[in-house]
Amino acid sequence: MTPASPHPWLTFSAPVAAARARGRPLVALESTIIAHGMPYPENVRTALEVQGLIRDLGAEPATVAVMDGRIRIGLSDDELERLGRPGEVAKVSRRDLPAVLAGGGLGATTVAGTMICAALAGIEVFVTGGIGGVHRGAAHSFDISADLQELARTSVAVVCAGAKSILDIGLTLEYLETHGVPVLSCGQDNFAAFYTRDSGFRADYRLDDAAAQARFIRTKWRLGLAGGVVLSTPVPAEAAMPEDEIDALTRQALREADEQGVHGKAVTPFLLSRIKALTGGRSLATNIALVRHNAEVGARLAVALAATG
């Protein structure tokens, strides 16, 4: 659904503007995964590959970021490079968006930030790696990602490989249930666990087929039930990490974060980079494989959703 007059803070790249004009399906992509989730240069290479995969499946990728006082929907290769190179890039969630926009800085949008921008741009499907969630020990730290609150209120379908086991996946699903956010799974019954395929928790509904996913999502929104939908799909089996290894390393990374007093928005990037170091880079290969797979599932969903009118 293309809004008649786009929001004044949005700037569309030329390919995204052309896709909008022709009614071609769009897929939003986040940029925190580029600036804070993966190291350079694999981050930029992955971002470019993911965009290509989406195009090949008949949708137009729109990577979202904040630059020079504008919400950018679609980035050039040079702009992706600017975001991905080591340097100061703000991590932009809901609370940060006004500050980075008004201040004219460079910002990478999280799942929550990207959902807000996608909704403003009329984009219904958004592909990420994994969603944020309720952190382990949240009873003491109160660390619950703003991604979950955004899913409760903003009507965008978020395609992911589940949530990382750095989180408390059971509590994350409880939170989503409380807020009426449906959790769909594609390819298996259970919710995925990012580096591994099976979180041990069932998703609400298994819908393997993009047309069925699109019918579910369209029905929710046509009923006036605002808010997001999570579509989980597991990392391809050949790229998954061994579960006992990732569990042990996750516990170690969590201990280190605690010892070093890492808190707030720094927690997730810290854990990601420690797990990458502790696995000798193997977790990065898994991360790249799952994002690529999510992009394919998301592109098919965007095409199917566009066909529902």
Enumerate binding residues for ligand PSU (CB under 6 A): 30, 32-33, 36-37, 110-111, 129-130, 132, 145-147, 164, 194, 265, 268, 272
At 129, phi and psi to the nearest 5?
-90, -70
To the nearest 5 percent, what fractions of the chain are helix, strand and coil?
50, 15, 35
Residue 185 contacts which entry, ligand PSU, Mn ion, none (Cβ below 5-8 A, type-dependent): none
Tell how strand 107-109 and strand 125-127 pair up: unpaired
Return d(Cα 97, Cα 90) in angstroms, integer.
10
89 versus 111: smaller Cβ distance to ligand PSU? 111
Residue 194 contacts which entry, ligand PSU, Mn ion, none (Cβ below 5-8 A, type-dependent): ligand PSU
Q: How far is the CB of 145 from Mn ion (least distance, A)?
A: 5
* Residue tagged active-site, from 60, 91, 164, 276: 164
Return d(Cα 295, Cα 48) in angstroms, integer.
12
Q: How far is the CB of 24 from ligand PSU (least distance, A)?
A: 26
50 versus 108: smaller Cβ distance to Mn ion? 108
DSSP-derived 3-state class of residue 190: strand
Q: How far is the CB of 216 from ligand PSU (least distance, A)?
A: 23
The reply on whether position 143 binds Mn ion by CB under 5 A is: yes
Annotated catalytic, 164?
Answer: yes
Tell how strand 26-29 and strand 60-67 pair up: parallel
Return d(Cα 223, Cα 248) in angstroms, integer.
44
Question: Which residues in this chain contact Mn ion in the complex, by CB under 5 A?
Answer: 143
Residues taking part in catalysis: 30, 164
